[in-house]
């Protein structure tokens, strides 16, 4: 009975183990099937992340019984969640419901009962009452039709002196305000969107971009200063960078720029034509190793959903970048491979419900993306956070962090809630994880004030005790020194002063102290090594432990050997260069003495670094001037001691000492260059020997 029972237990355990392995394999398989690797950006650069959106289906057109799409140019979702696809190559409009079922196909357009087909249209917009605005590009018109394709109105080139007579009107994108005014982007007009009323009256340009000063445009400015008026008229004029697409949401016009630029690729323009996203950078950039230089995102379209999230479609890298209204990157998805969820030449982006739609001209597809659980939590947390509901946002932010510990916005959201609840200690921790120095500093200031207020009596008592103690120490100084058998300089003289006292005496009396130290041969190589190592230790300690507010170093990338090379290594190179140069001009100092004086001079900088590292944990951003001041005093003090030490050890006059400082710096550069050259040569020789060894090995083996 006992054996049978044990056998059943073993079988149950094996069954559970097999079940767990099957589930894990399923999860691994499911993860591997995702079409692209998720990522985002944190303070130090790109970081892996779960995917926020995944593709669910690609539509080619034949699924609706209308035949395949041909060069689809635009997609629009109206206020009733109907999806309109502008199938440019076929000259038609396909209307779908929110579940992507066919409602109708408008392939015949009539003006006053006469057929008037579309000619490579590029843009579409649908009003709340169902009127369809179409940029019939190659017909040089914008038409308005009903749901059956009957043309109600037609708008051609505006009659205005602001547009040249020879300019062909090529409208490519249109959007309509609640009052019926049209904003039209034309292919060859760069002054902004044309504003035309429903009656056809031209009101001017809107959202005109600034002129971008490139290298070529700067050359134009220079030549205009020295050329005649006739020559200037024949030259190219400076023009603003046109935007390529737009989306009207409420009172704001969002624009996308295909032209590669460093900022303002996406703009949010208010009715006063002011860009509220001014100075912001969008998308990403790559250094193209195969040639072509530095490449930046080129946005072909922009869309804003009902919650205010901004979706930017990048044609350069074929990706979608999702932002909140503070221009913080939330998610990235898409790619440029031959698989579901990737694009070839994306042309338009829209949202319906929680789904994202991307139209691809080259693949002739409409791709539908849906948010994952992770994506839903990111959007929920961001939406609540952006609307000031910090405490309600904590739960979704915590769920996000369970899936992605690199998500900075989640840490900032939790920290903001803790700050408002008065939990400043936890807020400091989460603000640091979210790389929010402003929030971190505010929380520390509140915590510091709270601690002082709660312990005011204790703090004042400690201060009073310190003051009294220092007063007593000053009065009893001689007795205390006598009790400790401490002899003063007056009692011992310079010759009797112990070696360990000289480095500290030199801090206040560098000229006398260093001269007497040289004369009495009181320099200590052991102490010099200790002070040099202390300097190295202080820099390493500062890199690792200086408070987050003042320390931008990535602590995961700290290299103690690199720090060693840039501290002690650099000091030894300096000593070697100084010894080598001063030997040629009758310098009296040996390498040993130069090293000792140099090490002693590092004491102020070392103390300043340790002091700043300690104080940084109690200071806030606005007090950074004190941190910089302490470091500056320490470095200047060290520099003065170095100069006096070199002058003393070599017995140089001031002018000659200054010249030797300059030559020492040059000598250091030469030594560093030679060392780098030796490393490169050693690497090449090692590669050459290794290649010969493998060649001989394979030949002998054969």
- Listing DSSP states for 633-699 in one string gives HHHHHHHHHHHHHHHHHHT--HHHHHHHHHHHHHHHHHHHHHHHHHHHHHHHHHHHHHHHHHHHHHH
What's the 3-state SS for 302-358? EEECCCCCEEEEECCCCEEEEECCCCCEEEEEECCCCCCCCCCCEEEEEEECCEEEE
d(CA 447, CA 125): 54
d(CA 327, CA 416): 18
**DSSP-derived pairing of the beta strands 45-48 and 39-42:** antiparallel
In this predicted model, what pLDDT tens digit does every residue of 94-125 receive, in sequence order? 999 999 999 999 999 999 989 999 999 999 99
d(CA 525, CA 527): 6
Within a 10 A sphere around the Cβ of 635, how many other Cβ atoms? 14
DSSP 150: B
Q: Which residues pair with 268 in a beta bridge?
A: 254
Q: Which two tokens stand for residue 565?
A: 């090379």
* Separation of first and last alpha carbons in the chain: 66
The answer for residues whose C-beta is within 8 angstroms of residue 367's C-beta and 6 or more apart is 55, 57, 58, 59, 340, 341, 343, 357, 358, 359, 360
Evaluate whether 673 touches 681 at the Cβ level (below 8 Å). Answer: no
DSSP 34: S
Q: CA 217, 218, 219: angle at the middle one, nearest 5?
A: 90
Report the pLDDT value the prediction gives residue 602, as an integer from 0 to 100.
94
Q: DSSP for 234-251, please give it.
A: HSPPP-PPPP-EEEEETT
Residue for token pair 């929920």: 380
- Buried b / exposed e across 490-505, counting CB within 10 Å, b at 16+? eeeebeebeeebbbeb
Cα distances from 640 to residues 607, 644, 646, in angstroms, run: 15, 6, 10
- Buried b / exposed e across 599-623, counting CB within 10 Å, b at 16+? bbbbbbbbbbbbebbebbeebbeee
Say how many CA atoms lie within 13 Å of 374 toward its Cβ: 18
d(CA 238, CA 242): 12
The answer for residues whose C-beta is within 8 angstroms of residue 340's C-beta and 6 or more apart is 35, 55, 58, 367
Report the pLDDT value the prediction gives residue 9, as an integer from 0 to 100.
59
Angle of helix 408-420 versus helix 437-454 axis, rounded to 10: 30
The pTM (predicted TM-score) of the whole model is: 0.77
d(CA 76, CA 12): 57
Report the pLDDT value the prediction gives residue 379, as an integer from 0 to 100.
96
Task: Give me the domains of the chain, ranges plus CATH numbers.
Answer: 41-58+243-285+298-369 (2.120.10.30), 71-206 (2.120.10.30), 208-241 (no CATH), 385-448 (1.25.40.10), 496-682 (no CATH)
Largest separation between any pair of C-alpha atoms in the chain: 119
Report the pLDDT value the prediction gives residue 41, as an integer from 0 to 100.
87
Helix spans in 555-623 (H) = 560-564, 570-583, 591-601, 603-615
Enumerate residue ranges in the chain where pLDDT < 50.
Answer: 1-3, 5, 19-20, 22-32, 211, 213-215, 217-218, 220, 234, 236-238
Helix, strand, or coil (residue 487):
coil
Report the pLDDT value the prediction gives residue 124, as an integer from 0 to 100.
96
Within a 10 A sphere around the Cβ of 553, how many other Cβ atoms? 12
d(CA 32, CA 26): 10
Report the pLDDT value the prediction gives residue 30, as an integer from 0 to 100.
41
Evaluate whether 211 touches 219 at the Cβ level (below 8 Å). Answer: no
């Amino acid at each position: 009975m006992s054996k049978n029972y044990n056998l059943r237990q073993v079988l149950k355990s094996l069954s559970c183990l097999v079940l767990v392995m099957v589930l894990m394999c399923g999860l691994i398989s499911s993860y591997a099937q995702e079409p692209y690797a998720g990522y985002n950006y944190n303070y130090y650069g790109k970081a892996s992340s779960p995917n926020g959106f995944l593709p669910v289906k690609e539509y080619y057109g034949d699924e609706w019984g209308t035949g395949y799409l041909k060069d689809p140019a635009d997609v629009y979702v109206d206020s009733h969640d109907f999806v309109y696809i502008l199938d440019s190559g076929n000259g038609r409009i396909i209307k779908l419901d929110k579940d992507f079922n066919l409602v109708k196909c408008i392939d015949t357009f009539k003006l006053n009962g006469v057929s008037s087909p579309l000619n490579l249209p590029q843009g579409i917009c649908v009003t709340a009452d169902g009127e369809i605005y179409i940029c019939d590009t190659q017909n040089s018109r914008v038409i308005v039709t009903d749901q059956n394709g009957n043309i109600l109105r037609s708008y051609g080139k505006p009659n205005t002196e602001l547009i040249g007579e020879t300019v062909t009107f090529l409208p490519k994108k249109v959007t309509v305000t609640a009052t019926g005014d049209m904003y039209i982007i034309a292919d060859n007009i760069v002054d902004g969107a044309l504003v035309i009323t429903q009656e056809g009256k031209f009101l001017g340009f809107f959202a005109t971009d600034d002129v971008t000063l490139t290298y070529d445009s700067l050359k134009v400015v220079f030549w205009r200063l020295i050329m005649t008026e006739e020559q200037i008229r024949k030259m190219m004029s400076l023009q603003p960078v046109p935007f390529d697409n737009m989306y009207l949401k409420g009172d704001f016009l969002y624009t996308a720029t295909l032209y590669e630029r460093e900022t303002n690729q996406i703009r949010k323009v208010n009715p006063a034509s002011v860009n509220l996203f001014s100075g912001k950078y969008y998308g990403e950039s790559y250094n193209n190793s195969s040639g072509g230089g530095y490449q930046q995102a080129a946005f072909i379209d922009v869309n804003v959903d009902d919650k205010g999230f901004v979706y930017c479609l990048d044609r350069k890298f074929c990706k979608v970048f999702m932002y909140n209204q503070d221009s913080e990157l939330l998610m990235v998805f898409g790619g440029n491979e031959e698989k579901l969820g990737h694009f070839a030449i994306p042309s338009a982006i829209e949202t319906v419900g929680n789904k994202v739609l991307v139209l691809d001209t080259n693949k002739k597809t409409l791709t539908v993306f849906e948010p994952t659980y992770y994506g839903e939590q990111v959007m929920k947390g961001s939406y609540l956070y952006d609307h000031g509901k910090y405490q309600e946002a904590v739960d979704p932010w915590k769920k996000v962090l369970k899936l992605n510990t690199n998500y900075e916005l989640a840490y900032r959201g939790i920290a903001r809630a803790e700050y408002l609840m008065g939990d400043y200690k936890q807020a400091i921790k989460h603000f640091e994880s979210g790389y929010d120095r402003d929030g971190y500093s505010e929380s520390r200031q509140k915590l510091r004030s709270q601690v002082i207020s709660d312990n005011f009596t204790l703090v004042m008592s400690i201060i009073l005790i310190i003051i009294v103690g220092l007063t007593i120490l000053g009065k009893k100084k001689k007795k205390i020194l006598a009790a400790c058998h401490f002899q003063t300089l007056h009692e011992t003289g310079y010759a009797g002063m112990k070696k360990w006292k000289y480095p500290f005496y030199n801090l206040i009396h560098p000229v006398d102290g260093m001269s007497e130290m040289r004369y009495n041969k009181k320099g200590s190589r052991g102490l010099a090594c200790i002070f040099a190592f202390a300097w190295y230790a202080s820099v390493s300690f500062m890199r690792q432990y200086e408070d987050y507010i003042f320390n931008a170093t990535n602590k995961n990338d700290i290299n103690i050997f690199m720090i060693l090379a840039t501290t002690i290594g650099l000091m030894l190179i300096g000593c070697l260069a100084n010894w080598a140069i001063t030997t040629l001009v009758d310098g009296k100092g040996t390498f040993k003495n130069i090293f000792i004086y140099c090490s002693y001079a590092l004491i102020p900088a070392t103390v300043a670094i340790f002091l700043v590292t300690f104080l940084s944990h109690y200071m806030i951003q606005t007090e950074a001037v004190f941190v910089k001041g302490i470091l500056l005093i320490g470095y200047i003090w060290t520099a003065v001691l170095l100069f006096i030490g070199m002058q003393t050890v070599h017995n140089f006059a001031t002018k000659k000492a200054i010249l030797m400082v300059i030559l020492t710096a040059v000598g250091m550069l030469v030594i560093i260059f030679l060392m780098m050259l030796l490393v490169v040569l050693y690497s090449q020789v090692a590669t050459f020997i290794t290649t010969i060894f493998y060649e001989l090995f394979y030949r002998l083996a054969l």
